[in-house]
Chains A and B, each alone.
Chain A
Amino acid sequence: MTGATWGLVASTFAASFVEFVEALTIVLAMGVTRGWRSAIAGTVAALVALTAFTAAAGYALGTWLPESLLQLVVGTLLLIFGLQWLRKAVLRSSGLKAMHDEEEEYAAQTEAARQATRQSRFGIDTFAFVVSFKGVFLEGVEVVFVVITFGLSAANMPAAIGGAAVAGLLVLIAGVILHRPLAAIPENALKYGVGLLLASFGAYWAVEGLGVFTQSGESLEWPGGDWAILALIACWLLTSRLLVKVLPRLKPEVAR
C-alpha cells in the first residue's frame, strides 16, 4: 500500500472509530438498563436500515446526480458535520465547554433509560429499541458519508471501507469484552483531528460542486488541485487555534 492509501485508511478509521464509540455507548446503556434483547434488536434493525439507505443513496447519487452536484451535496453535509465537531473542539480546548466524557454520557443515558416508562411490543422494549436504533443509524449515516467522501476523493473506495470496517470491528470487540463505555479513548483529540479533516474535504468538495450552477456544469478547479486540501487543513487548524486563544478573553468568567 502507498502512503496515500495508508493516509486514507487512517482517516476513515479515526472518523469511523469516534462514531462507533458513540453508538456503542448508547447501545451499552440501553442493554444494561433495559435489556440486551431490545438493544440488540434496535441495533440490528438500524444496521439493516443503514444498508438499505447506503445502497439506495449510493445508487441514486451515482446514477442520477452529475458529479459536481454530488460534490456540492456531500461536501456541504461534510462541512456541517466537520464544523460542528470543530466548534465543540474549540469550545472544549478554550475551557468554555466541558470535555466530552463517554462515562458521563453513559451515566446520562442509563439514568434516562431507568426513568423511562416500560412499553413492550412483541416482547421488545420500545424505548430501548428506538434509542438503540436511532443512535446506531445516526452515527452510521455519518460513517457512510465519511467513507463516500474519502473513498471517492482518493479514488479508492475499498481502502476507505476497510478503514471504517476495522474501526467498527475493534469497537465491537472492545464493547463485548469490556461491557462498559470506552472512556480511555482520547475522544476529544480524535474529534478535533477528524473535524479538521471533514471541514477541509467538505470545503474542497462543496466549493468545487458550485460549478454545477455554471453554464458548463463542470466542477470548479482549486488552484493546485488536490494540494489545496493540505492548504485548507492548515487554514482550519490555524483558525481554530486562534479561536482557542481568543475565545476565553470574551468570556473569562466561564473559561476554566
Chain B
Amino acid sequence: MRFVKGFGQFWYDFIIGDDWKIAAAVVAALAVTLVVVLAGVSAAGAAIAGGVLLLLFFVASVLIDVRS
C-alpha cells in the first residue's frame, strides 16, 4: 500500500507539479479545442483556436493563482 501511495505521489509530483491549475488549464483548453474539432471546423481553424485557447487558459490560471 505504501508503495502504491508513493508511486501515485511520484507521478502526481511529476505531471501536476506544484500548481494543479496549469494542468487543469491545459486539459480544459484541449477539451474545448476537441469540441471545436468535432464540430466540423476546418483543421487549420481548429488548430488556431487550440493555440488561442491554450494562451487564454494559461493567462486565466496565472491570474487566479496571483489573486488567490
Instruction: State in angstroms the CA–CA spacing of A94 and B25 once bound together.
Output: 21
Closest residue of B by beta carbon distance from A221: B43
Contact of A247 among B30, B43, B46, B62 (CB under 8 A): B62
- Residues of B within 8 Å of A235, CB to CB, are 51, 55
Please state if A80 and B26 are interface contacts (CB–CB under 8 Å).
yes
A213 CB-CB contact with B under 8 Å: yes
Closest residue of B by beta carbon distance from A215: B38
Contact of A251 among B19, B33, B37, B66 (CB under 8 A): B66
Sort A-B residue pairs by CB-CB distance and give the 5 closest, nearest first.
Answer: A207-B50, A223-B44, A220-B43, A222-B47, A84-B17
18 more CB-based (< 8 A) A-B contacts, given A86-B58, A251-B67: A80-B15, A80-B16, A80-B22, A80-B26, A83-B58, A84-B22, A203-B50, A203-B54, A207-B46, A207-B47, A210-B30, A211-B43, A220-B43, A220-B46, A236-B55, A247-B66, A250-B63, A251-B66
- Residues of A within 8 Å of B18, CB to CB, are 84
A214-B37 CB under 8 A given contacts A223-B44, A223-B47, A223-B48: yes
A96 CB-CB contact with B under 8 Å: yes
Please state if B47 and A213 are interface contacts (CB–CB under 8 Å).
no
Question: Which of A191-237 touch B at CB < 8 Å?
Answer: 199, 203, 206-208, 210-211, 213-214, 220-223, 228, 232, 235-236
Q: List 5 A-B contacts (CB under 8 A).
A: A87-B65, A91-B66, A211-B43, A235-B51, A243-B59
Please state if B15 and A77 are interface contacts (CB–CB under 8 Å).
yes
Contact of A84 among B19, B50, B59 (CB under 8 A): B19
Interface residues of B, Cβ cutoff 8 Å to A: 10, 13-19, 22-23, 25-27, 30, 33-34, 37-38, 43-44, 46-48, 50-51, 54-55, 58-59, 61-63, 65-67
Task: Report, as a range, how many residues of chain A touch the other chain.
Answer: 35 or more
A100 CB-CB contact with B under 8 Å: no
Please state if B37 and A211 are interface contacts (CB–CB under 8 Å).
yes
- Residues of A within 8 Å of B17, CB to CB, are 80-81, 84
Please state if A76 and B66 are interface contacts (CB–CB under 8 Å).
no
Contact of B58 among A91, A138, A239 (CB under 8 A): A239
A213-B37 CB under 8 A given contacts A80-B22, A83-B58, A239-B58: yes
Please state if A83 and B25 are interface contacts (CB–CB under 8 Å).
yes
Please state if B47 and A220 are interface contacts (CB–CB under 8 Å).
yes
Q: How far is the CB of A27 from chain B (nearest CB, A)?
A: 17
A141 CB-CB contact with B under 8 Å: yes
Instruction: State in angstroms the CA–CA spacing of A91 and B33 once bound together.
Output: 27
Instruction: State in angstroms the CA–CA spacing of A40 and B52 once bound together.
Output: 45
Please state if A207 and B33 are interface contacts (CB–CB under 8 Å).
yes
A208-B59 CB under 8 A given contacts A84-B17, A87-B19: no
Q: How far is the CB of A21 from chain B (nearest CB, A)?
A: 18
Please state if B38 and A213 are interface contacts (CB–CB under 8 Å).
yes
Please state if A210 and B25 are interface contacts (CB–CB under 8 Å).
no
Please state if A243 and B13 are interface contacts (CB–CB under 8 Å).
no
- Residues of B within 8 Å of A239, CB to CB, are 55, 58-59
